[in-house]
Structure 1
Amino acid sequence: MYLGIDLGTSGLRALMTDAAGKPVASAEAQYDVQTPHPGWSEQDPGDWITALDRAMGQLRSTPGYGDIRGIAVAGHMHGAVLLDGSDQVLRPCILWNDTRSVAEAAELDATAKVRDLSGNIVFPGFTAPKLLWVQRHEPEIFANTAKVLLPAAYLNLHLTGRHVADLSDSAGTSWLDVGARDWSEPLLRAGRMRRDQMPDLVEGCEPGGILRPELAARWGFGKDVTVAGGAGDNAAAACGTGVMAPGQGFVSLGTSGVVLTARDGFCPDPETAVHTFCHAIPDRWYQMGVMLSATDCMNWLGRITGQSPADLTAGLGEELQPPGPVTFMPYLSGERTPHNSASLRGGFQGLSIATTAEDLARAVMEGVCYGLRDCLEALRKTGAEIDSCLVIGGGSKSAYWVKLLATILNLPLQLPKDGEFGAALGAARLARLAVTGDDPAEVLTAPESAMTVAPDPLLRDGYEAGYAAFRRRAAELT
C-alpha cells in the first residue's frame, strides 16, 4: 500500500493505493486561510499537521492500512515556512497567492542573471521575494530564520525529522538553478539567503527519509515506511495524469487555470511569463501557463448574483453557441501568464439594459477560455507543442465549457473517466517509485479516456475573431 498526500490551499487530501496503484480509500480535512491585510494570504502550518492526523484517523479502518510502505506529499507551491534553530515556526506561512512582495519581486527580477538561472520571471507569489519582504518588514524574524521550507517540505520534516524538499517544488522559489537542478549561490545571494538555510534536495520519486517511529506507532504502521521527495502540486498532477513526455499536456479548469506540458530539456523563455520548472522525475522538466482566476470567476459571479454556477449556466444547454455580445476579462486577482501583473483587474464590456445573468455567465466562460488560450500561445513561443491534452478540474464537469474550451484552444480535449488522476494519485505513485524503483514510464501512465471533445469547426472562426478582440482589449488594460 502507498499513501499520497495532497496538501491544498483549503484542505488536505490523503489517498491510499494498493501495490498495483489502484486507489482504495481517501480522506479529507479542511482548514482556513487568513487574510489579515488586503493582498495578504497566510496559514498556520500547525493546521496542516492537525488535518493530516484527522485524515489518517479516517483511513485507519481501511483494509491494508497497516501495510503502507511509502508516503509522498504534493503541496501548494511557493509558500514560505520560516523556522528557527529548533525547527519552531516563527510566523504564519506566506502562501502562493499572497501579493505583498510586489516591490521585492520587481527588484529581484531586475537583478542580473536571476531570470537566466531560475528560468522564470520572479513573480510576487514566489518564495524569494517573500523573504526579502520579511527582511525589510519583520527584521527580527528574518534574523532568527534558520531554515525556509515550502509547505510540502514542512510536512516532510514532520514525517521524517529531515529538512528535505523535491526539485519540482523548489524550482518555484527563485533560489534554484532550474537547469542544473541545484541551489544557486548567485540566486541565494540576490535573495539575501544562504545555502545552509535551504533543505536538502532530492528528486520527487527518490527516498527523502523514513517515517519517524513515533508517527508510525501512533498511526499503526510498521517500521521503515519510506517518505519520498514528493512534488509541487502541478508536477504531482502531471504524474497522476501521465504527462511525462513532450507533446503531452493537460488543461486544468479549476479555481485557477493551468495549461501544462512536459519537456525533456530545459527550455526557458521568461519573457513569455511561462513557468519552467523541474519535473518530479530526473532529467525532465515541465512548463505551464497560469491564470489566477478560472472557475473562481464563475464562483464570484454566483456570489454577487445569488445563484449557483449550475443555475447560471443551466439555460445554455450542451450545444455550443457563437460568441456572446458581452466580453469578460478574467483578471479578478491579477494575472501571471502572459501579463505578469498583480494589479491587473477584470471587467465586462458590451453590457446593455437587455443583458441577463446568463449572458454574464456565458461571457465569464468565454473569458476564462480566452485566458487559457493566452497560456497555450505563450507555451508555443517557448517551442512547446501539445499533441495530446487532458482536461481536468471542476469546470471539466460542464459539457458546454469543455466544448467551448476545445474550440477556443483549437485542440481536441480528452475527458478522463471518473476516478483518481490528480495530485494525490501522483503523490502515491511517487511513493511507490521511491520504494520499488520501478520504471516511471510504467507507473506514471495516463488515465483511461471517457471521451474526446473536438473543436466545433462551424464556430472556430467566430471564436478566433473573439480571441483577437480579447487580445486587443487585454493590450489596452496592460
Structure 2
Amino acid sequence: MPITLGLDLGTSSLKALLVGEDGTPITSVTESLTVERPHFGWSEQNPESWIVACEAALSRLQADYGEALSAVEGIGLSGHMHGATLVGADGSVLRPCILWNDTRSSIEAAALDDDEARRITGNIVFPGFTAPKLDWVRANEPEIFAKIDKVLLPKDYLRLWLTGEAVSEMSDAAGTSWLDTGARDWSDRMLERTHLSRAHMPRLVEGTERSGDLRPELAERFGMKRGVVIAGGAGDNAASACGVGLSEPRTGFLSLGTSGVLFTPSAGYEPAPETAIHTFCHALPGLWHQMGVTLSAAGSIEWLSQILKEKPGDLTGALGETIGEPGRVTFLPYLAGERTPHNNAAIRGVFAGLDAATGREALTQAVLEGVAFSMRDCLEAGAEASRPHQLIAVGAGARSAYWLELMATVLGVEIVLPEAGDFGAALGAARLGACAATGADPKTIMTTPPVAKRFAPREELRQAYEESYRRYRALYPMVSAL
C-alpha cells in the first residue's frame, strides 16, 4: 500500500490520520469543532470552521511528520452525514450548515415521506435527512434558497476546498432522500419535489473511485506531492465499516459515538422503510447496508457528564468492568428525538423511577442501560435473516468494558473489541484513499482487525434485562402521549 491520509470530519472534531505502507496508522491529530444551537431543535455548524480545522491538522502533520506527509499518494474523506451545506455561484457558503441532529424540518419531512419517496429512496424521509432541510430553507429563508448553486454534504464541502470539484459518493448521498438508492443515482423526481435539479447536485462516484486531485497550491503549502488522488470516501458509518473490514452479510459493528449505530452489510438491495431501518449504499461498489440509529448514545453520557461536572470516563469507570442486576431507574435517551424505530423528532428523554437515594452511579447506570435498550430496538427492527452473529465495537463508548458487556447481554450477541489502535472512520477513509490511488481490490485492503477482548452475553442476567427492557418499551407510548 502507499502512504495514505484519512480525513474524518466529525461533529465535535476533525481527525487526520496518516497510514503507513503496512496499512497501520503512523500518527493522528485532532482539531476541535463547536456546534451552535440557536433555537430549540436546531443544530448548526460553520463550514469555514471545517477548513480552518483541516488547515491546522495538516500544518501539525507537516511540522511533526513532514516526510510521511510528503509521501502521501491517496486521501480519503469521511464525514457526518445529512448536513445541508449551501453554496452560492461564487463558491461562498450561504448560511451555517444544518446538521444531522437538527430536527426543525419535521413538518417538511412528513410532507415528503410517502409511498413514492420510500419506493425511490428505500427509506423513510427523516427530519435529519438533507432534502427536508432544503424545503425548510425554501419556506423560511427564500432569499437564501434562490441563491443556491450547489448543495453539498459536509465532507464534500471539505473536498471542494481540497480539489475544487463538487463531488459526492453513494454512501453519503443515500442519506439525503434525493438518491435512487437501488440505482445508485440521483432521482430526478425527488429533486423535483424539493424544487431542485441535478444542476444543484455534486457529481457522484463510488467511495473507492478517484473524485479529483489535491489542488497544486495546497500540495505546495503543506509539502505534499502534486497529483495526490482524493477518493470518493464515505459517510462516517460506511467509513467505519471499511475501517473494521466489514463487507459480508451477518457481520456488523456497534458504534457508540455521539449517536449509536448498528450497521450490517448486505450483498443485495433489501429496503424495509416501514421499520425505520436505514438502507443505504455501502462505500464499496455493488454493496448496500442496513443501519439502525439512535441519536444520543455516547452523547447521552456527555450530557450527563456536563450536568454532574465529571468526565465521562470517570462516570462509567465508577461502575467497574462487569455488570450486575439492572438498575431501578429507567432512562429514555431521546435527547434530540429518535430515529429507529420511532421516527419521532419531537420525543425527548426522561428518567423514571428516581427516589431520594438515587445518586450518580444510579444515573450513570440508567443512561448506559437506556442506550443499550435503544440499540436493542434497532436490532429488533432489522430482519431476522440478517441478524449479525457478532458485532465489532467502535467509537468512544467502546472504551467502557462495562458498557460492552451490558450491550452483549441486552442484544444477545457477542461483541468483540479490536486491539488497541485506530480502526474507525479515519482509517476507513484512508483505506478508500488507497483503493483510489492504486486501483486495488477493496477486499485486499479492508481487512478485519485483531481482537483484543470478547464480550459474551451474561446468560444468568438475560431474563432480568429482558424485564427491564419491557419496562423501557412501556415508557415510550406514555411519554409520546405527552
Give the alignment's TM-score, normalised by structure 2: 0.96
Matches of 2:269 and 2:205, distance apart in 1: 18
Corresponding residue of 1:64: 68
The alpha carbon displacement at 1:330 in A equals 1.3
- Name the counterpart of 1:100: 104
> For the Cα contact (< 8 Å) 1:188–1:195, is it kept in 2?
yes
Match of 2:77 among 51, 73, 77: 73
- 1:425-449 alpha-carbon deviations (Å, 9 max, x no partner): 0000000000111111110111110
Measured against aligned partners, the alpha-carbon deviations of 1:52-98 in whole angstroms (never above 9, x if no partner) come to: 11111111131322111111110111111111222221111111111
Counting matched residue pairs gives 476
Q: SS in structure 1 opposite 2:382?
A: helix
Q: 2:443 is matched with which residue?
A: 441
**Higher mean C-alpha displacement, 174-183 vs 21-30:** 21-30
1:119 alignment counterpart: 122
Q: Which runs of 5+ in 2 are unaligned?
A: none
Partners of 1:167 and 1:319 lie apart in 2 by 40
- Report if the CA contact (8 A) 2:106-2:127 is conserved: yes
Q: Alignment partner for residue 356 of structure 1, among 343, 354, 359?
A: 359
Q: Which position in structure 1 is the counterpart of 2:230? A: 227
Percent identity of the aligned residues?
Answer: 53
Q: Distance in 2 between matches of 1:148 and 1:397?
A: 36
Contact 2:109 2:132 in 1 (8 A): yes
Please list the CA deviations of residues 283-318 of structure 1 after superposition, one character each: whole Å capped at 9, or x if unmatched: 101111111111222222222233333444444323
The residue number in structure 1 matching 2:206 is 203
Cα distance in 2 for partners of 1:431, 1:309 equals 33
Partners in 1 of 2:397 and 2:235 — Cα distance? 22
Match in the other structure for 2:271: 268
Amino acid at match of 2:207: G
Aligned partner letter, 1:33: V
Equivalent residue for 2:418? Answer: 416
Residues 60-69 or 141-150, more deviating? 60-69
The equivalent of 1:239 in structure 2 is 242
Range 168-177 or range 391-400, more displaced: 391-400
Quick one: distance in 1 between partners of 2:217 and 2:319? 55
Alignment RMSD, CA only?
1.4
Partner residue in 2 for 1:331: 334
Runs of 4+ with deviation above 6 angstroms: none
User: Residues of 1 paired with 2:31 and 2:215: CA distance?
Assistant: 22
- Matched letter for residue 201 of structure 2: M
Paired residue for 1:82?
Answer: 86
User: What whole-Å deviation, never above 9, does each CA across 1:259-278 have from its counterpart, x for those lacking one?
Assistant: 11111111111111111110
SS class of match (1:389): strand
Scaled by the length of structure 1, the TM-score of the pair is 0.97
Distance 1:226 1:49 in 2: 19
Q: Partner letter of residue 196 of structure 1?
A: A
Q: 2:390 is matched with which residue?
A: 388
1:150–1:169 Cα contact (<8 Å) kept: yes
Distance 2:232 2:455 in 1: 36
Tell me the residue number matched to 1:454. Answer: 456
Q: Helix, strand or coil: the match of 1:122?
A: coil
Tell me the distance in 2 between the aligned counterparts of 1:248 and 1:59.
35
The letter of the residue matching 2:303 is: W
- Distance in 1 separating the partners of 2:159 and 2:299: 30
Query: Residue 286 of structure 2 aligns to which amino acid in structure 1?
Result: D
2:317–2:400: 8 Å Cα contact kept in structure 1? no
Q: Distance in 2 between matches of 1:309 and 1:170?
A: 33
Name 2:307's counterpart in structure 1.
304
1:151 is matched with which residue?
Answer: 154
> Deviation per CA, 1:129-174, whole angstroms, max 9, x where unpaired?
1111111111111111111111111111111111111111111110
Q: Which runs of 5+ in 1 are unaligned?
A: none
Q: 2: CA distance between counterparts of 1:70 and 1:313?
A: 38
1:176 deviation in Å? Answer: 0.3
Contact 2:277 2:340 in 1 (8 A): yes
Equivalent residue, structure 2, for 1:342: 345
| Secondary structure, counterpart of 2:182 in structure 1 | coil
Task: Tell me the secondary structure at the aligned position of residue 459 of structure 2.
Answer: coil
Return the alpha-carbon distance in structure 1 between the equivalents of residues 157 and 88 of structure 2. 13
CA distance 1:132–1:362, shift in 2 (3 Å): same
Structure 1 contact 175–191 (Cα < 8 Å) conserved: no
Tell me the SS of whatever aligns to 1:33. Answer: coil
Number of the residue aligned with 2:282: 279
Question: 2:41, 2:336 within 8 Å by CA — same for their partners in 1?
Answer: no
Alpha carbons 2:7, 2:426 under 8 Å: kept: yes
Paired residue for 1:109, among 101, 113, 135? 113
Query: 3-state SS of the aligned residue for 1:289?
Result: strand
Question: In the alignment, is the contact (CA less than 8 A) between 1:11 and 1:28 conserved in 2?
Answer: yes
Amino acid at match of 1:443: I
Aligned-partner residue type, residue 23 of structure 2: G
